[in-house]
Amino acid sequence: MDIMYDAIIVGAGPAGSIAAYVASKLGFKVLIIDRFRFPRFKPCGGGLTQKSILLLRSLGLDLNGVVRDECRRVVVINSAGSFILTDNDPIITVVSRDEFDNYLLSNALELGTDYIVDRVVSVRTNGGDHVNVIGMDNTYIGRYVIAADGANSIVAKYLGNDIRRNTAMAFMTIAHGNYFDNTCVIDMTRIKWGGYSWIFPRGGGGEYDVGIGSIHWDNYRAQLIRYVRDAGLREGEIRGHPIPIKSRERITSKRIVLVGDAGGFADPITGGRAFSTPCIVAPWLHWH
Ligand SMILES: Cc1cc2nc3c(=O)[nH]c(=O)nc-3n(C[C@H](O)[C@H](O)[C@H](O)COP(=O)(O)OP(=O)(O)OC[C@H]3O[C@@H](n4cnc5c(N)ncnc54)[C@H](O)[C@@H]3O)c2cc1C
């Protein structure tokens, strides 16, 4: 017999896994579906703000074992020169997304969330008391769907959103060599306007997350390689991914809600912090 879940979460990135963690903690029967088996790679700078760390801690997620670096010093370079931010607390905490996302998913699974590897191709609501989530391998049934399937969200498209609208683009690479330790660099001068570059240390060993992002869709690969080499580093594989920076036009229907990048909730200035939305959304299940 098919299981009827209280909530099916599509996508096990930070938004999906945090939603699964909170909903399972509240006693709901939850299924999370991701097209990849975890740990999996996600192009990202891996920089978490202090606000994000406090939010995760308040949920009981202390990130023990997955913090790669803590920058109490951030060098900001702009056209007028440069300045240094310092604090006793880390200003940017650096994680590796494969480890961080796997940690969040594991915490949800420990609370009883079911996890299936499948690629969701469609959802069907048919106006009834449930939603069918159609995967390549199977169909899953839930009372509600929390869509956390990222920037190219199938579910956001199903709700009628144009997922290419209001989307920034960012490229990154894991680079090697000698640069600053425990210091994050944010450089506004490499792109004319509407973007920035970063170099985030990944815990010693001469490894750095280096990237470039902009609200203008362009191929920044060549610029990124130049940036890496100007810093005296060697680039690895270059990976790009869109970042939706404006809330989608339609983020809910009666039984579906979009969270994280699927909903377009990345900060429009920094391109980060999209994953905090599910903390509001999981309790939403209670109100129905
Ligand atoms: C180069 C780059 C650098 C960035 N740097 C930072 C940073 O330093 N700090 C920061 O806070 N943010 C950063 N961001 C933004 C950040 O990566 C995203 O906002 C964040 O990953 C959003 O989390 P999410 O859980 O909503 O989506 P995602 O992390 O994209 O997770 C979506 C999940 O859904 C799964 N999925 C997708 N489609 C399907 C499907 N059809 N069926 C099943 N599963 C599916 C995917 O496999 C994936 O696991 C960066 C983004 C980029 C591109």
pLDDT tens, position by position, 195-218 = 899 999 999 889 999 999 998 877
pLDDT value at 279 more than 60: no
Q: What is the SS3 assignment for 13?
A: coil
Of the pLDDT bands very low, low, confident and very high (cuts 50, 70, 90), residue 147 is: very high
Q: Which residue has the tokens 């498209």?
A: 157
Q: Which of 35, 94, 98, 197 most suits a substitution to test ligand 1, by most atoms within 8 Å of the C-beta?
A: 35
**Residue 273: CB within 6 Å of ligand 1?**
yes
Residue 274: per-residue pLDDT: 66
Q: Residue 252 carries which DSSP code?
A: B
Looking at per-residue pLDDT, the higher value among 226 and 282 belongs to: 226
pLDDT averaged over the chain? 92
Share of the chain above pLDDT 70, in %: 94
Measured distance CA(274)–CA(169) in Å, rounded: 15
Residue 155: per-residue pLDDT: 98
pLDDT value at 1 more than 70: no
Condensed to tens digits (0 to 9), the pLDDT of residues 171-190 reads 999 999 999 989 999 999 98
Residue 277: per-residue pLDDT: 61
CA 83 / ligand 1 centre spacing (Å): 30
Please classify residue 148 by burial: count the beta carbons closer than 10 Å to its beta carbon, then call 0-12 exposed, 13-18 middle and 19+ buried: buried
Measured distance CA(146)–CA(19) in Å, rounded: 8
Lowest mean pLDDT among 94-103, 236-245, 273-282: 273-282
Residue 182: per-residue pLDDT: 92
Residue 283: per-residue pLDDT: 55
Mean pLDDT of 131-142: 97
Nearest atom of ligand 1 to the alpha carbon of 47? 8
Nearest atom of ligand 1 to the alpha carbon of 241? 53
Of the pLDDT bands very low, low, confident and very high (cuts 50, 70, 90), residue 145 is: very high
Instruction: State the SS3 of 81-133.
Output: EEEEEECCCCCEEEECHHHHHHHHHHHHHHCCCEEEECCEEEEECCCCCCEEE
Lowest mean pLDDT among 108-112, 119-123, 151-155, 280-284: 280-284
Mean pLDDT of 50-74: 93
Nearest CA to ligand 1 atom 17: 44
Nearest CA to ligand 1 atom 2: 44
Closest CA relative to residue 33, chosen from 66, 1, 5, 59:
5
Closest CA relative to residue 141, chosen from 37, 31, 251:
31
CA 1 / ligand 1 centre spacing (Å): 33
Pull the structure tokens for residue 145: 């769907």
Please classify residue 75 by burial: count the beta carbons closer than 10 Å to its beta carbon, then call 0-12 exposed, 13-18 middle and 19+ buried: middle
CA 42 / ligand 1 centre spacing (Å): 6
Of the pLDDT bands very low, low, confident and very high (cuts 50, 70, 90), residue 128 is: confident
